[in-house]
Amino acid sequence: MSTVSDSDLKELKDLILGIDKKLDVQIARTDERFKSIDQRFDQIDQRFNDLQLQIDQRFEQVDKRFEQVDKQFEQVNKRFEQVDKQFESVNARINTFTLGFLGIVGVLVTGLLGIIGKVVFFPNP
């Protein structure tokens, strides 16, 4: 076996220290990269949160508009119901007037036919 000298030990120690420094540098670089990646994720997360807030606000605006449109449709439906009631009222009046008018015309026509029939079939001598 060979003996290990102090210079060999010192050389090994220097190599180990060099490797340790290189590892420390690599670890520091890796930590910086992880920090930058974390920052990017935080930025992306913030963007998603902002977009989610904007989307929520727009949905609220759309919901409010739908509520307004629903109220307007209800008002229009009420107006149509009122107009329908007025049409029914006018229709009933016209029916009453028509029946009355046709009744009078029927009586007059019957009377005229009676007079014409008497004159034609039973003339005065």
pLDDT tens digit sequence for 64-94 = 999 999 999 999 999 999 999 999 999 999 9
Give the pLDDT score at 52. 95
Say how far apart CA 48 and CA 60 lie, in whole Å: 18
Give the pLDDT score at 123. 78
Q: What is the average pLDDT score of the chain?
A: 90
- Overall residue count recorded for the chain in this entry: 125
Say how far apart CA 68 and CA 59 lie, in whole Å: 14
Is residue 1 predicted with pLDDT exceeding 70?
no
